[in-house]
Structure 1
Amino acid sequence: MDTTGTLDEALDRIHLSGPERHGWLSNHAPMAVEALVRHGQARSVHPWVDRYRHKLEEMPSPTDPIAPADWREALGDPRRIADWAQHFEREVAERPWREVLAEWWPRLLPGIAGGATHPVIRVGHSVRTLLSGTQTSPRTVELAHALGYWAARHAPLPPLGHLEVAPSAASALDLVPPVVDRSGGIEQRLERLTAFPQWPAPGASTDGASESATAIADTARERLVELVTAATHRYATHGHGEPVMLVHAATAPNAVLRTLPALPRELWASSLSAAWAASAAVTAAYTPAAGTTAPLPTTRLDPAEIFARAADHGDDHTIKFTDTALDVGDDLALTAAVRSIELNVPFR
């Protein structure tokens, strides 16, 4: 919980800007500052935003309000980013934020990979703050902007075939076939996806009719924890393939995991399925031909020291990945965090 007021101040500054720049690149500031405050680095937030400010662009002008009866027509239209932001600002002003989230989560979930998964990651950071601290205007507006960004960039994956059954999340990620044509950015690469391994295994997943609703939800959460752990660990050995983009294979499912407590439990199973699709898609688009075979040295740093190094490093993706690695918390996850600090370019 932030008792300094720094997070609210930073969010107020950031909300003058849109969620993107140059028509595609994501504004990472709200996610990074939430992680910095979360891990005791509040005093570094405003200097970090000062340095990041040149990457921010003004929120685009709204064009036409989102009509309740016609929201499907506007879904996935990035030209309506400002319209969507205003729509959700009205929604969270008029209704409890949990109610808004529960209504829109299943609508947005099929497009989880849109915006290179940044919208759902932004939602995850926002929800974590709302769940653990005082509900303030900047924090509910942040959720509104995150949901609006997701709605504007909503982009379902192409129809996918089913490959062999994988016994674990780690083996499933290992079995994800890489996109052969690596030309273009993530949007173009995701269009070339064809099939994913089956995980969780059919019959062992979370939609069995014989299971109680409670068991289904609990299993979904357990599998999601497994996926976040596997993707975080995998960065330690495969992050060199694309140090920036591959962090999302872990941070996207972790955003879903962070959001579960705010959602009705009947949405947890579909949340797992979407999180797996997002993690597998990023893996397919950027995984290297081979992982690191040399033994990875175990870091001697404690979690607080590792995050302090990530904060000093300053790269937004490194900060967010280290935040996820600390959620996992085991030795290999901490090693992966240190690896991200080594692989990514510092932000000064």
Structure 2
Amino acid sequence: MDDTGTSHDTGALDEALQRLHRSGPERLGWLTNHAPMAVESLAARGQARAVHRWLDVYAPRLEDLPTGVEPVTPANWRAALGDPRRAADWIGHFSHEIAERPWRDVLAQWWPLLLPGVYGGASHPVIRVGHAVRTLLSGESTGPRLAELAHGLGYWAARHHTVSGLTPLPGAGSATAALDAVPPIGVRDGGFPARLGRVRGLPVWAADVTDPDAARRHLAELVRAATHRYATHGHGEPTMLVHAATAPNAVLRTLPALPRALWVPSLRVAWTASAAVTAMYAPDGPVGYTPPGTFTAEEVVERALAHGDEHVIKLTDTALDTGDGPALAAALRAIELSEPLR
């Protein structure tokens, strides 16, 4: 077990990633392939023996890696950025880069270029990168783990989508209060891109942070607040509101691999992403939630695995990073609200 409180079974995880790298990052043209993130979560939480069994159930949803269009080069990469048709090209580009240079150098170069486009793919690409980085930080940089980082970065580049022109609204001192102050969008229907286009303004929070260590503390506070909030607000949209917590947590997990100069801008973008998801899927009001008993972290993980839904597994993983009772309650709430994997 490493200093993040996670442990990975290298063999089981690497075998699963090898299986998955024959598949594309999406299915049906826009739905995300969650399997790489879910199997990493399971392996990290002591469930490596269940990884292949879970993947066997999820596998029928997977589609083959798409065909490339043309290689991404220093001359054409800007034109390829944000073009989902270029997913295979981008994955190939990052596979080459990571084969030629240390993965941390590649990540440090591309993180500030990709960070403004964190909203593409409903924030799944940065979440996938966060899982990949955790595996690399927790142990050996095996071929499948390095390939997974290339797939995550390639997906992010292909789905790169920025947001601009948001009006700063009155903020709050704590992350909890700031999330409470997020105004819901006026029309709450349609998919993620349509809803994102209706977000006009978000509360200001942590705008005066300039110190990297303070940025990391504030990011951890945001993850905790968004995770806790799911227990009482997750009914607004049980799947999508998971990302209000898992997206900033992916950024938090990546910070140790990044130059400290990138920590403050990472906090800024993570807040905007979490707040935007909150605005897009907020329910009309909170509901009280009392967990059905007292459970250990290990028991909550086992319940999430038995349920099987990929978002439940990922939120449970994030809840264990926070590690307190309200966070575990949020994971149990996700189990109640979500459809099991069949």
TM-score, length of structure 1 as denominator length: 0.95
Aligned to 1:20, which of 23, 26, 46?
Answer: 26
The residue aligned with 1:210 is none
* Distance (Å, rounded) in 2 between the aligned partners of 1:270 and 1:4: 32
Q: Which runs of 5+ in 2 are unaligned?
A: 1-6
What CA RMSD, in Å, does the superposition of the two structures yield over aligned residues? 1.1
Partner SS, residue 339 of structure 2: coil
Q: C-alpha displacement at 1:44, in angstroms?
A: 1.0
Please give the residue correspondences for 1:23-62 in structure 2 after superposition, counting only pairs within 5 Å.
Answer: 23-62=29-68
Aligned to 1:156, which of 130, 138, 162?
Answer: 162
Post-superposition Cα deviations, 1:223-270, rounded to whole Å, max 9, x if no partner, equal 001100000000010001110110000000000000000000000000
Q: C-alpha displacement at 1:158, in angstroms?
A: 3.4
Q: C-alpha displacement at 1:283, in angstroms?
A: 0.5
Q: Is the contact between residue 299 and residue 338 of structure 1 (CA under 8 Å) also seen in structure 2?
A: no
Q: Aligned pair 1:66/2:60, yes or no?
A: no
Please give the residue correspondences for 1:42-121 in structure 2 after superposition, counting only pairs within 5 Å.
Answer: 42-121=48-127
Aligned to 1:339, which of 309, 314, 333?
Answer: 333
Q: Aligned pair 1:319/2:313, yes or no?
A: yes
Q: C-alpha displacement at 1:92, in angstroms?
A: 0.4
The residue aligned with 1:219 is 214
* 4+ long deviations beyond 2 Å: 1-4, 294-299
Aligned to 1:283, which of 274, 278, 285?
Answer: 278
Query: Match for 2:45: what amino acid?
Result: H
The residue aligned with 2:134 is 128
Q: Aligned pair 1:206/2:209, yes or no?
A: yes
Q: C-alpha displacement at 1:299, in angstroms?
A: 4.2
Q: Aligned pair 1:175/2:181, yes or no?
A: yes
Q: C-alpha displacement at 1:20, in angstroms?
A: 0.1
The residue aligned with 2:3 is none
Q: Is the contact between residue 132 and residue 148 of structure 2 (CA under 8 Å) also seen in structure 1?
A: yes
The residue aligned with 2:227 is 232
* Distance (Å, rounded) in 2 between the aligned partners of 1:165 and 1:35: 33
* Distance (Å, rounded) in 1 between the aligned partners of 2:264 and 2:294: 37
* Distance (Å, rounded) in 2 between the aligned partners of 1:109 and 1:309: 34
Q: C-alpha displacement at 1:297, in angstroms?
A: 3.9
Q: C-alpha displacement at 1:35, in angstroms?
A: 0.5
Query: Match for 2:37: what amino acid?
Result: M
Post-superposition Cα deviations, 1:17-58, rounded to whole Å, max 9, x if no partner, equal 000001100000000000111111111111111111111000
Q: Structure 1 residues 223 and 259, CA, compared in 2 at 3 Å: closer, same or farther?
A: same
* Distance (Å, rounded) in 2 between the aligned partners of 1:253 and 1:133: 23
The residue aligned with 1:146 is 152
The residue aligned with 1:212 is none
Query: Quick one: percent identity of the two aligned structures?
Result: 62
Partner SS, residue 165 of structure 1: coil
TM-score, length of structure 2 as denominator length: 0.96
Q: Aligned pair 1:185/2:204, yes or no?
A: no
Q: Structure 1 residues 279 and 17, CA, compared in 2 at 3 Å: closer, same or farther?
A: same
Q: C-alpha displacement at 1:285, in angstroms?
A: 0.7
Moved more, 317-326 or 37-46: 37-46
The residue aligned with 1:310 is 304
Q: C-alpha displacement at 1:3, in angstroms?
A: 3.7
Q: Which runs of 5+ in 1 are unaligned?
A: 208-215
Q: C-alpha displacement at 1:72, in angstroms?
A: 1.2
Q: Is the contact between residue 231 and residue 289 of structure 2 (CA under 8 Å) also seen in structure 1?
A: no
Q: Is the contact between residue 175 and residue 221 of structure 2 (CA under 8 Å) also seen in structure 1?
A: yes
* Distance (Å, rounded) in 2 between the aligned partners of 1:304 and 1:297: 16
Query: Match for 1:158: what amino acid?
Result: S
Partner SS, residue 68 of structure 1: coil
Query: Match for 1:346: what amino acid?
Result: P
Task: Give the aligned length.
Answer: 336
Q: C-alpha displacement at 1:70, in angstroms?
A: 2.3
Query: Match for 2:264: what amino acid?
Result: A
Q: Aligned pair 1:254/2:249, yes or no?
A: yes
Q: Is the contact between residue 326 and residue 333 of structure 1 (CA under 8 Å) also seen in structure 2?
A: yes
Q: Is the contact between residue 129 and residue 139 of structure 1 (CA under 8 Å) also seen in structure 2?
A: yes
Q: Aligned pair 1:267/2:267, yes or no?
A: no
Query: Match for 2:300: what amino acid?
Result: I
The residue aligned with 1:213 is none
Q: Is the contact between residue 158 and residue 194 of structure 1 (CA under 8 Å) also seen in structure 2?
A: no
Q: C-alpha displacement at 1:296, in angstroms?
A: 2.5
